[in-house]
């Protein structure tokens, strides 16, 4: 059973506020990811990490930033939220395996609305 | 760049019938993985099934099977004996070892009718 958590599940916030979306996993996975998904649309990779102190930008440009100070924790921060940031943000993790695919476990997501 | 194509934006299927969700992929790599996720209206992503490019047999997981046709670059999901709880969004995705990232298709919204 996947043990990956995201908080908050829902967030409604005003323009200009700084927000941090939390993601934690207890599986000891090295790789972690953030995806952005608009309702009914595909997932877009915005950030990923291979391990502690590793962060990479994904395929979709994002104004958000991430950090990876601990293996289990991969928070995403928006310094100044805007209505265009309204979306669902999904966090995922997987084992680090350079040769073959390992299943990505997803968190429940955070639905962000910026007014 | 790798690309996943799901040509069916939405499908309506009668309960208990089998359903096939289409997925084609575009890659020149020899080593890759393909898989399907289910996303109910609650938003979480549920892993369903995985097929490696070197796997000779089609993957199966309970009522789910993956119809892997390598020459056609297709990886269709087959759900046997559909249930009302199968109503959800379904995403096909690929992982290329060279890119070390997962790319998702646009998804198919499946509606199971009672």
Per-residue pLDDT tens digits for A71-98: 999 999 999 999 999 999 999 998 866 5
**Structure confidence at residue A48 (pLDDT):** 92
Residue with tokens 């996975």: A29
Q: Do B95 and A103 touch (CB under 8 A)?
A: no
**Structure confidence at residue A100 (pLDDT):** 55
User: Both tokens of residue B61?
Assistant: 């997981």
Q: Do A101 and B109 touch (CB under 8 A)?
A: no
**Structure confidence at residue A101 (pLDDT):** 61
Contact A18, A9 (CB under 8 A): no
User: What is the per-residue pLDDT across B12-42, written as a single tens digit (0 to 9) for each?
Assistant: 999 999 999 999 999 888 888 898 999 999 8
Contact A115, A15 (CB under 8 A): yes
Q: Do A100 and B33 touch (CB under 8 A)?
A: yes
**Structure confidence at residue A103 (pLDDT):** 77
Find chain A residues with C-beta within 8 A of B91's C-beta. 42-43
Considering only residues A40 and B59, tell me which one the structure prediction assigns the higher pLDDT: B59
Contact B102, B94 (CB under 8 A): yes
Give me the residue from B33, B44, B91 closest to A43, CB to CB. B91
Contact A44, A20 (CB under 8 A): no
User: What is the per-residue pLDDT across A26-83, written as a single tens digit (0 to 9) for each?
Assistant: 999 999 999 999 988 889 999 999 999 999 998 888 899 999 999 999 999 999 999 9
Round the average pLDDT of chain A to a whole number and report it: 90
Find chain A residues with C-beta within 8 A of B97's C-beta. 98-101
- How far apart are the C-alpha atoms of A57 and A48, rounded to whole Å? 6
**Structure confidence at residue B27 (pLDDT):** 83
At A11, is the pLDDT very low, low, confident or very high (cuts 50, 70, 90)? Answer: very high
User: What is the per-residue pLDDT across B63-100, written as a single tens digit (0 to 9) for each?
Assistant: 999 999 999 999 999 999 999 999 999 999 988 766 66
Q: Shortest Cα distance from A42 to chain B (angstroms)?
A: 4
Q: Is the pLDDT of residue A6 over 90?
A: yes
**Structure confidence at residue B97 (pLDDT):** 64
Portion 35-74 of A in contact with B at CB < 8 A: 40-43, 45, 48, 58-59
């Amino acid at each position: 059973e996947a043990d990956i958590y995201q908080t908050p599940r829902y967030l409604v916030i005003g323009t200009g506020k700084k927000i941090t979306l939390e993601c934690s996993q207890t599986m000891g996975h090295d790789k972690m990811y953030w995806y952005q998904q608009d309702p009914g649309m595909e997932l877009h990779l915005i950030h990923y990490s291979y391990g502690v102190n590793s962060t990479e930008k994904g395929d979709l440009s994002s104004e958000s930033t991430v950090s990876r100070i601990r293996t289990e924790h991969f928070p995403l921060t928006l310094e100044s939220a805007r209505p265009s940031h309204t979306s669902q943000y999904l966090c995922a993790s997987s084992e680090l395996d350079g040769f073959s695919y390992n299943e990505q476990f997803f968190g429940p997501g955070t639905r962000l609305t910026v007014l | 760049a790798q690309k996943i194509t799901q040509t069916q934006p939405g499908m309506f299927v009668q309960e208990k019938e089998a359903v096939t969700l289409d997925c084609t992929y575009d890659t020149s790599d020899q080593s890759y993985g393909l898989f399907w996720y289910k996303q109910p209206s609650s938003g979480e992503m549920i892993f369903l099934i995985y097929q490696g490019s070197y796997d000779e047999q089609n993957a199966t997981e309970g009522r789910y099977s993956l119809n892997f046709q390598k020459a056609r670059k297709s990886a269709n999901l087959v759900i046997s004996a559909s249930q009302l709880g199968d109503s959800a969004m379904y995403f096909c995705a690929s992982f290329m070892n060279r890119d070390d990232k997962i790319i998702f298709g646009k998804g198919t919204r499946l509606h199971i009718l009672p």
